[in-house]
Structure 1
Amino acid sequence: MPTKITLIIDNPADPAAFEITYARIQELAAQLPALRRLEAAKVWPKEDGTPTPAYRTLDLYFDSYDDASAAVATPIAGEFFPLLIGTGTTFTGLFSDIESA
């Protein structure tokens, strides 16, 4: 069954600095083996200026759970996950079965 890994990235303390590192994170994520599609999104700011529940999302699509699991155990993932952690922001990672396209 097709599988998606979603990274929900919290609001960084310094968005400009985060964006510089994020460009490399996204570049590395695009190199994951068996990756079928990558979808990156930036959360719209709230009109009243209060913080949004997240800053960015990164969706990584694979043909199967096994492919997704193998991809996050590769040296490429071993390079981009520490970069993400090193930005000082937190994130939530979800593995999901895709029920419809």
Structure 2
Amino acid sequence: MAEGRMLKKKISLNEALADLANDSHRLLFTWGIAHLDVEGRITGSLKGFKGLVAPLLDHITLETVSSFFQDAKFLGLIQWYKVPFMSIKMRHPPCDELL
């Protein structure tokens, strides 16, 4: 499994990312990219996502993660789906253009 990913500088020009409600949501999106699997997926569990992406940030609560999920889904930054016998997953669709 990869240790992380590199971002292209044009991530700062992505309008949907800029339209996220606040900097906490932008942080969760960008830090989440480093934890995506090879197909661009990550857990959609509130606790699982926070535990992976922001385990040491006390100001990032489960409510913050839930709000981020709703915000990012509305803006088309993530797609939700459920895999049989597994937890809910989400995919960052625009990642190919940002990585």
Give the TM-score normalised by structure 2: 0.31
Q: Would you tell me which structure has more helix in proportion to its own residues?
A: 2
Greater relative CO (CA pairs within 8 A, separation 6+): 1
Give the TM-score normalised by structure 1: 0.31
Q: Would you tell me which structure has more strand in proportion to its own residues?
A: 1
